[in-house]
Structure 1
């Protein structure tokens, strides 16, 4: 009996141990594709399977699955970056594959899918418009034919004059040249109809590619069009620059993976996008192109992917300005994912895009655009100076968008950021590019400089370079008037008197399009979690990015679904002279531009599938975010909870949300006067400062005592500025001040605040419908950017 009990106990512990081992193995397999290798063997023609070992041309490959794509890598390829490991020259990384960036690739597939719906909708609309035009032209030709025939008959009936026919009359048996011309026109119409029917049957319906046996077009053959016909060089030169005859009505979307490496992105786009696609996978190294061909063969996608060995810039310039053996037209989507900065590829990529087109850009040089360590290189690459502080991540995104916007504006192109994210060690932006010279004029009014008090209290102020104002014309029509901007900031911080530093210029418009984000979020419930393994993080990050747009005045996205936070926050913007109103019910769902009269009718809805655009003149007057713990370090007090600060700001009527770039941050449209008032209220009500912690004249002391500043007490006064001197008015609260009346050596009591600060943590907490993974969890040891591929 006793032995039976011990045997059962031992059996139970053994089962528990095995279950733990199984859970550990499953977790490890989820984070590392290399742990799923098995001993299955096959050839390049075998059906692709994860963990399969293949032998091709005497070389052994392991098969890695990501999404619906399979790539072949050498058995010794590294998937981690160990800082303590010594690199062996013979063990150099020959294939670049970083499993940590699967989030990037999953998100890219969904973003291009959202854009493809807009592309397909516009293509359908163009085809309908083109069909109507062709019908009208056909009717007009038939009418002209009848009129010419009637005129010819009337001229045949005229009698001869002096033995000669009158002008235009023909004898019997002769052919009227006008009648012959009308008959030729009718034959041309019939020929065009037959050609259109032939083209519709020639095109491959699955991928939009012509039926060809070769993966790459020959160097001697003329470039093919989407319908399979060849274009002679002489005829190609006569066509519009960068367009093909069927470019507007082609049934597929053209994508360029400009820096393809193993071709993983191209494989995923070809196998996962629902719309027919024609993908060009380009790389500079012949070995990389050979790997792309091999992976396309193994995935049975040679009909959809064309590997090209070329310089990426040269290839895109060829697509923009002429026809070559590979680049015979512009692209609808261009994906730039280099090792480092992508700015050197921007000019050629923008020119090689259709209008509208989608530009996907990744920059991994975060040490350049996110810090002041190499500010000279940042300015040389991105055209601006980075910001110092916790909000540097958003500043880096705005520098990248500024580089894209300025490069596009030179060619009459305007950009609209659809989604801009700071992810792990890199930045990823999705930008819609359109040819709109009129909208380019708004670039100056959406470009800003930042005056940052980076070594003082940490506050900042923005300065837009230009102003755009809508005025009435003589006949009642409205038009935009563009003017210079006046200086809005002093060289010294208005809150602590420290010197401020200049950052920028950088992008000053919205970072995201709420309709684009909502469309991607709509895909997530129906996705296969085995294919898109980062779905939880995508949902959390995109919901957080969507909440960031709440602080932009004139942009009302309350109609969009937010599963994480119910729309209970007030949208009222406090006046500078009146107390902030209490939170009210959410406004009616509409997209406001700020120019509609109160009785303006609602804007018509876009056709199904169309992706609405934000107004081209809409700026973001409340960029960046702050960290409550950083502000508490200035005041030498304990850090307040995030819910307490959010609750106090929301109680005043302001919006307070998270930011996707960094956890523990707060993004709000409240001015810094209000934020510091809230922090002073925190010190007075919840966290008193220890006596002697704040040195008189220091930054924290000046923030806590804005009415007690006197000469000779800090950096600001070294510049010859007296603050709180005799007769000076100091703005406090909602724009109301009082005479400081403090002579040198005399102090007055604290200035009475006009705001009531209430730390309502219940209001500050976001009531989540479901738990979201908003920020990256540590997936495994030694994850991060890997070394560049060699060989």
Structure 2
């Protein structure tokens, strides 16, 4: 990589520095950059770095395994060849020496050929594993800041393809790539001269100019990704960070990624994903109906995962969510893609419709499919049968408060994180904190995500208390009562003061009914027909214990971490769309 020189800032531009990279921003709004998205870029660099290291270790293990097998096979062939040739040599040598009067013992000790005893000398060329480097495609690059950071900060990057539809954006990318020394080599001796005559004439191979670490493409993002969908042209990572929804790009993205590759997706249209203001728009973009409840941001993540899962399944691929985050005003997901017919068949069992109560926000899932395992006794093999699921799983009205139920989904109902991956990601962050400007917040949010249980959706004690019209128990009180009752509990990264639990919503309501016995509710102001009246009319089935549990959620909070966004900065929100050229799609942050 070329050494960085001082950057001359032309009139009408400002120099913006982020971590190791610097870019020139025009004073006009020709290319969009949102500084609040530095957290997005930081966590993306960390995730791709951690993922690429894991991929490299897996490929090295396979290489070592193949090499061991090849070495063992070669040794067997040599031993076989030596064994076959030794008797013929022995007979010839023995016959000639018997004529000379030598005993067989003398022949063995002195005259037997040394060929069978000499071991092969070690090869002069010892194969060495070459580390696996990855190709990244950023479909909507704008200023190119994200691509530049990928090229400079991720060790195992081969090169980055930075694409944009706007001529002004690609011009900005070219300036910024050159400012960071990532363009084609400028040394004349290190550059292929296409104009010079070739001494080999027509027989010479085609000579192409040397390319830099960041390679610019101006054109439609989907067309570019479709051109990379053949096996030999596929890339390892695709990053989608558009202005608004990533839905139009997902089908092409899932086809152009190598097996085991990584898809990084940002969607900023939370007014569509996280409310019921535009259910028809959410369905057209994501194939599902959104949720109107306090856990709407997790539902937004699950809607996007459903879209990626169904898109990938069409091509015999399945998804493994590594990290799914609701951040500020957008969602950011990191998803590994693999090919396996049996796993594709499981997708329906990881997809559900949800009945959402309009009164108490209780939710009831309706899986689309189910798996039945059958063990073959003689062999012990497990066969999986895929079947439709029975339904409905709930009556017409909410069993808890008798309010109307609304349908949401279909959406992803499986895990949204891989805790093992997040553990390795935190290890990487611990040893590289000085490399990320937002490392305190990264550590806090990743810690919460790592601790999250797989159960869908969360609640806040204050909102739950509002349904009962009672004084709210603390986060610790609620978590301790659920833990004493044998349920799992964790926080959710998506909302401060929230809890996730393996308990059914009826069990959570029982916790509050037990709480109300010592913190009574004034019934004179509650209507007999209200949802609160229906909730309070039931008795708790279990007397809950609110004594502080040793595994309470606040125990993990003793370490001071910036788990959630504090106060918005002046750059808060998605910002305005860039106006450079006839641009149809703009990157949210670059």
Sort the TM-score into its range (normalised by shorter chain): 0.7 to 0.9
TM-superposition CA deviations, 1:208-259 (whole Å, max 9, x none): xxxxxxxxxxxxxxxxxxxxxxxxxxxxxxxxxxxxxxxx978421111111
Alignment partners' CA distance in 1, 2:480 and 2:215: 55
Match of 1:790 in 2: 579
Contact 2:265 2:334 in 1 (8 A): yes
SS in 1 for 2:229: helix
Match of 1:770 in 2: 559
Superposition deviation, residue 46 in structure 1: 9.6
Alignment partners' CA distance in 2, 1:785 and 1:479: 49
Match of 2:169 in 1: 288
Alignment partners' CA distance in 2, 1:761 and 1:134: 60
Q: Choose which of 460, 477, 487 in structure 1 pairs with 2:363.
A: 460
CA 312–135 in structure 1, closer or farther in 2 if over 3 Å, else same:
farther
Alignment partners' CA distance in 2, 1:682 and 1:107: 40
Alignment partners' CA distance in 1, 2:146 and 2:477: 44
Match of 2:464 in 1: 631
Match of 2:141 in 1: 260
Alignment partners' CA distance in 2, 1:448 and 1:667: 18
The answer to whether structure 1 residue 410 and structure 2 residue 314 are counterparts is yes
Alignment partners' CA distance in 2, 1:661 and 1:755: 30
Match of 1:511 in 2: 416
CA 401–765 in structure 1, closer or farther in 2 if over 3 Å, else same:
closer
The answer to whether structure 1 residue 125 and structure 2 residue 61 are counterparts is yes
Alignment of 1:404-443 (within 5 A): 404-443=308-347
Alignment of 1:137-536 (within 5 A): 251-302=132-183, 303-321=212-230, 329-454=233-358, 456-473=359-376, 475-476=378-379, 477-487=381-391, 488-529=393-434, 531-536=435-440
Q: Choose which of 687, 693, 703 in structure 1 pairs with 2:535.
A: 703
Alignment partners' CA distance in 2, 1:334 and 1:658: 30
SS in 2 for 1:766: helix
Match of 1:114 in 2: 50
TM-superposition CA deviations, 1:366-401 (whole Å, max 9, x none): 111111111001011111111111010000000000
Superposition deviation, residue 312 in structure 1: 1.1
Q: Choose which of 546, 551, 554 in structure 2 pairs with 1:759.
A: 546
TM-superposition CA deviations, 1:489-542 (whole Å, max 9, x none): 11211111112111111001001000111111112222243x411111111111
Higher relative contact order, chain-length normalized (CA < 8 Å, sep 6+): 2
Alignment partners' CA distance in 2, 1:637 and 1:693: 12
TM-superposition CA deviations, 1:393-440 (whole Å, max 9, x none): 000000000000000001000100000000000000000000111111
Q: Choose which of 693, 705, 722 in structure 1 pairs with 2:525.
A: 693
Match of 1:560 in 2: none
SS in 2 for 1:320: coil
Contact 1:458 1:631 in 2 (8 A): no
CA 139–258 in structure 1, closer or farther in 2 if over 3 Å, else same:
farther
The answer to whether structure 1 residue 668 and structure 2 residue 456 are counterparts is no
Match of 1:73 in 2: 25
Superposition deviation, residue 625 in structure 1: 0.7
SS in 1 for 2:233: coil
TM-superposition CA deviations, 1:714-758 (whole Å, max 9, x none): xxxxxxxxxxxxxxxxxxxxxxxxxxxxxxxxxxxxx5x441222
Match of 2:587 in 1: none
Match of 1:161 in 2: none
Contact 2:30 2:168 in 1 (8 A): no
Superposition deviation, residue 321 in structure 1: 3.0
Structure 2 gap segments, 5+ residues each: 83-123, 184-211, 581-590
TM-superposition CA deviations, 1:161-204 (whole Å, max 9, x none): xxxxxxxxxxxxxxxxxxxxxxxxxxxxxxxx99x99xx9xxxx
Match of 2:13 in 1: 61
The answer to whether structure 1 residue 642 and structure 2 residue 505 are counterparts is no
CA 134–424 in structure 1, closer or farther in 2 if over 3 Å, else same:
same
Match of 2:517 in 1: 684
Alignment partners' CA distance in 2, 1:132 and 1:658: 46
Superposition deviation, residue 664 in structure 1: 1.7
TM-superposition CA deviations, 1:574-619 (whole Å, max 9, x none): xxxxxxxxxxxxxxxxxxxxxxxxxxxxxxxxxxxxxxxxxxxxxx
Superposition deviation, residue 301 in structure 1: 1.3
Contact 2:56 2:131 in 1 (8 A): no
Contact 1:313 1:345 in 2 (8 A): yes
Contact 1:417 1:511 in 2 (8 A): yes
Contact 1:127 1:249 in 2 (8 A): no
TM-superposition CA deviations, 1:349-382 (whole Å, max 9, x none): 1110000100000011111111111100101111
Contact 2:20 2:149 in 1 (8 A): yes
Superposition deviation, residue 651 in structure 1: 1.9
CA 484–544 in structure 1, closer or farther in 2 if over 3 Å, else same:
same
Superposition deviation, residue 60 in structure 1: 4.5
**How many residue pairs end up in the alignment?**
507
After TM superposition, the structure 1 stretch with the greater mean CA deviation from structure 2, 640-649 or 355-364, is: 640-649
Match of 1:36 in 2: none
Alignment partners' CA distance in 1, 2:79 and 2:215: 47
Contact 1:350 1:408 in 2 (8 A): yes
SS in 1 for 2:228: helix
Contact 2:228 2:256 in 1 (8 A): yes
Contact 2:433 2:439 in 1 (8 A): no
Alignment partners' CA distance in 2, 1:128 and 1:495: 59
CA 265–651 in structure 1, closer or farther in 2 if over 3 Å, else same:
same
CA 100–675 in structure 1, closer or farther in 2 if over 3 Å, else same:
same
CA 141–631 in structure 1, closer or farther in 2 if over 3 Å, else same:
same
Alignment partners' CA distance in 2, 1:673 and 1:259: 46
Match of 1:609 in 2: none
Write 1 or 2 for the structure with the bigger share of helix.
2
Superposition deviation, residue 143 in structure 1: 12
SS in 1 for 2:318: strand
CA 294–648 in structure 1, closer or farther in 2 if over 3 Å, else same:
same
Alignment partners' CA distance in 2, 1:676 and 1:450: 19
Alignment partners' CA distance in 1, 2:213 and 2:77: 40
Superposition deviation, residue 308 in structure 1: 1.2
SS in 2 for 1:438: helix
